[in-house]
Amino acid sequence: MTPLTCILVLGAGFGGLEAITELERRFRDDTSVELLLVDAKNFFLFTPLLPQIPSSYIEPRHIVQSIRDIRRDRRFRFLRAQVTGLDLTQRRVSTTVGDLPYDYLIIALGSVPNFFGIEGREHCFPLYSLEDGVLLRDHLLDLLEHADHESDPERKRTLLTLTVVGGGYTGVEVVAELRDLLFRHVAPRYGGIPVEDVKLLLLEAGPEILVGVDPKLAARARRKLEQKGIEFRTGAMVTTVRPGEVELKSGEKIATGLVIWTAGVRANLLLESLPVERNNVGRVFVTPELHLPDYPRVFAIGDNAVVRGAAAEQTVQVAPVAMEQARLAAENVTRGVARLPYRSFDYKPKGMLVSLGMNDAVVNLMGLKLSGYGAWLLWNTVHLLKLVGLKKQFQVALDWSLASLFPRDTSIIRRPHRCRFCHPESGGA
């Protein structure tokens, strides 16, 4: 009997899921190949809609798809386990449920928030996982409940100063979502929260927001959000976060009720154990064929990899890049099994879509540059089509429609454990 070829894919995010489904398509009738997908979570998270969770615009479960549902009638196996180590010499991956040998490996373990060594990161709310989104949502709603009955006007204004750190597309979408929640939903319903006391602040260390987006569209996005009352401060590098305060490099201190951290990501820390070169945010350098130098059977894709020699926009940390690389890595594994030469990565960026809250967006898609309501409709359509699963598409479409007819559901499901009002002893955020 021919020994099985084991192909292991680590991570069931944009890259890993695309890689395993492409591998399955290519090896559908080849029973000599074993396909195994490993992830610590048993669901796929559609991150582009994550900013809409803290604002209670959509329900958290509607932006995730269980791997078991995606896997239905498929032949790849799924293992829910935390990867704990990578041994390229022994061709072995360690996990919380045991070691896994492999013949070919695709690493797609994504990123973690990058706090750039600031002090007080425990007082920030990152937004990377679904859990982050839900925690932030409950904490924000809790904060608003406290602000509503705060009798000291200065303290009320501090509580209602919400700070987003990081002016990339996530930060901009988050601050726009907060604005919708506070101005459209909270102000009319919380008698103790006058809109003039609400301050939405976005701090960006660099000279511009939305780097990578067409500069005219980025400027237009900033102008529109400023008109809606959002304050942008560029060249504002945060060095310390304390409960109720952020401090900038200049020494300036800003009183704030909440700090949301969207200032950047770095590659999964597991990659640090690999005997290969990495860039300043821990992404490994891969060859144009997407494998690690000296390890032709080990591929790294998406947020984990930088393609040597590729233009910067071809390896940015976005979903389309991860998916395109996944398809090529899967093809090259197939070619490796068939002893054919590998193909090289060649990708043309398709553009960028940034939501500016309800009814507004900026879009640069395949040369088409749009802003306003039309761009917002396009943003919604593209994201709805990209969601995995018809049920999820219906649920999100319904959430969006209901939000324009009915109030948002702002019930706090659990008592936020990081609330310094409910737990003064915790010194929480």
Based on CB atoms, which residue is closest to ligand FAD, 160 or 209? 209
Q: Cβ 270 to ligand FAD, closest distance in Å? A: 6
CA distance 246 to 227: 25
For residue 259, what are its two tokens? 């700090």
In terms of DSSP bridges, do strands 230-234 and 238-242 run parallel, antiparallel, or are they unpaired? unpaired
- What is the contact surface with ligand FAD in residues (CB under 6 A)? 11-16, 38-41, 47-48, 50-51, 82-83, 108-110, 127-128, 170, 268, 270, 302-304, 317-320, 322
Which residues 6+ apart lie within 8 Å of 398 measured at CB? Answer: none
Nearer to ligand FAD, 108 or 143 (CB): 108
The answer to whether residues 53 and 362 touch, using CB atoms and an 8 Å cutoff, is: no
Yes or no: say if 170 and 319 are a contact pair by the CB < 8 Å rule.
Answer: no
Residue number, 147 or 345, with CB nearest to ligand FAD: 345
In angstroms, what is the minimal distance from the CB of 170 to ligand FAD?
4
To ligand FAD, the closest distance from the beta carbon of 84 in angstroms equals 7
Packing angle between helix 373-386 and helix 390-405, nearest 10 degrees? 150
Q: Residue 151 carries which side chain, given as an amino acid letter?
A: S
Q: Which is nearer to ligand FAD, 164 or 193 (CB)?
A: 164
Separation of alpha carbons 404 and 411, rounded Å: 18
Comparing CB distances to ligand FAD, the nearer of 150 and 324 is: 324
Residue number with CB closer to ligand FAD (118 or 322): 322
Angle between helices 215-227 and 169-179 (to 10 degrees): 20
Instruction: Find the shortest distance in angstroms from Cβ 109 to ligand FAD.
Output: 4
187 or 377: whose CB is closer to ligand FAD? 377
Residue 89: CA count within 13 A, CB half-sphere:
3
Minimum CB separation from ligand FAD for residue 230, in Å?
A: 18
CB 209 within 8 Å of CB 218: yes
CB of 83 to ligand FAD, least distance (A): 4
Residue number with the smallest Cβ distance to ligand FAD: 13
Tell me how far, at minimum, the Cβ of 317 lies from ligand FAD, in Å. 4
- How would you class 147 by CB atoms within 10 Å of its CB: exposed for 0-12, middle for 13-18, buried for 19 or more? buried
